[in-house]
Amino acid sequence: MPGGRMTFMPKPLEEFRQLKYINFSHCTSLVRMPDISCAPNLEELYLSSCINLVEAHKSIADHDNLRRLNLAFCYELHDLPKELKSKKFQHLSLFDCRKLERFPDIPHKLEGLTRLSLHGTAIKELPELIENLVSLNSINLNDSQSLVSLSSSIYKLENLSAMGLEDCTNLVGFPEQEDSADLWMKTGLSNLQHLYLEGSHQCQIDVLRNLSRSPCSIGLYLNGRATSTHHDRSSSIRRHQALPST
């Protein structure tokens, strides 16, 4: 029912127990997300461009089968559940949720989530235990201008291959490691293939200072150019590959 005029669900989704897909996108009058616990088989929930949605229901936090949640362009969204426990999550988009200041804590390992988009949010820091997103392949933090720090546990994301930090104007660099000389050698960042830093000038300086220690080729995107840096310090220009957004 994309583009509907409802402001809330009149009752829980009790009549939709077998549904696997729900699309409420562009329901501009929707203020609160429905309780999805009564739809136990739900796998995909789309609420993109619900521009007046202010909160996400706590039932998304530990839903047994939810794999994909799209809240992109929910400009008024500012409240998410305190914790995220849904183990089958694969893709979560909070693209351009401009009033969202906090991402849920991740108390336990979530092996399903591979893509996370926080582009354009007001998040100031990543959760301390972001390392529990053990399968995360791509994280988009572009244009997160309130972001001031990254959790040091981000180094433990062994499957992370793409990270967007473009226009993060208040981010001064990567967190310190006890053995900073091995920053790129012993951590999950050794699998990083694409790092987007255009417009994040302080972060660029910090990364360039350490990048020569990388044991693999990293596509570093600065000022519209893609530079491939190898551990032997040779470099070449590669075609820009866009980071997934929503």
Question: Is 23 strand, coil or helix?
Answer: strand
pLDDT tens, residue by residue, 128-158: 999 999 999 999 999 999 999 898 888 889 8
Q: Please state the rounded mean pLDDT for residues 217-236.
A: 52
Does residue 4 sit within a domain? yes
Question: Is 227 strand, coil or helix?
Answer: strand
Question: Is 213 strand, coil or helix?
Answer: helix
**Residue 91's beta-bridge partner residues?**
68, 115
> 220 and 122, same structural domain?
yes
Average of per-residue pLDDT values in the chain: 82
pLDDT tens, residue by residue, 34-93: 889 989 999 999 999 999 999 999 999 999 999 999 999 999 999 999 999 999 999 999
CATH code, domain with 194: 3.80.10.10
Structural domains counted in the chain = 2
Does residue 32 sit within a domain? yes
Q: What is the pLDDT of residue 197?
A: 87
Last residue of a domain, one of 63, 81, 99: 81
pLDDT tens, residue by residue, 82-130: 999 999 999 999 999 999 999 999 999 999 999 999 999 999 999 999 9
Q: Residue 205 belongs to what domain range?
A: 107-246
Residue 211 near residue 220 (C-beta atoms within 8 A) = yes
> 41 and 148, same structural domain?
no
Q: What is the pLDDT of residue 244?
A: 61
Does residue 172 sit within a domain? yes
> 119 and 68, same structural domain?
no
Residues in the chain: 246
Question: Is 117 strand, coil or helix?
Answer: strand
Q: Which residue has the tokens 């000022």?
A: 223
Q: How far apart are alpha carbons 153 and 246 in whole angstroms?
A: 24
Phi, psi angle pair for 189, to nearest 5° = -65, -10
Instruction: For residue 167, give the DSSP letter.
Output: T
Q: What is the pLDDT of residue 242?
A: 54
> 112 and 68, same structural domain?
no
Q: What is the pLDDT of residue 178?
A: 53
Does residue 96 sit within a domain? no
Q: What is the pLDDT of residue 174?
A: 80
> 121 and 62, same structural domain?
no
